[in-house]
Amino acid sequence: MSNPGNIVGGHKANLNNPNTSDEAKQHSKEVLDQEFNGGNVDTSSGDKNPNNVAGGLKATVNNPQVSQEAKDSAQDRLNEMGK
């Protein structure tokens, strides 16, 4: 089966797309309600690569477009990871 997050995302996009029919929207709503707990997908599988997480946090710290609060938070998490 495909990635459940991708399936849910597609159905949610369909619900918000003004160009899709009411029947298609109803189908997406039914699929979300019946098969995906209303669209709530568990993303806390814990299988994230710690090096990738650290890389993302380092990018946040060095990105001039990010707020100081976000930079501080990312740096705190890096420190907790020992990176």
pLDDT of residue 57: 95
pLDDT of residue 67: 96
Give the tens place of pLDDT for each residue, 22-48.
Answer: 999 999 999 988 888 777 766 565 677
Instruction: Provide the total of helices (H) and of strands (E) in the chain, helices listed first.
Output: 4, 0
pLDDT of residue 41: 65
Q: For residues 61 and 74, is the Cβ–Cβ distance under 8 A? A: yes
Q: Closest by alpha carbon to 7, among 27, 47, 48? A: 27
Task: Using pLDDT thresholds of 50, 70 and 90, give the confidence band for residue 68.
Answer: very high
Angle at 26 between CA 25 and CA 31, to 5 degrees: 100
User: 10 Å Cβ neighbour count for 9?
Assistant: 13
Rounded mean pLDDT, 46-69: 91
Average pLDDT, the chain: 88
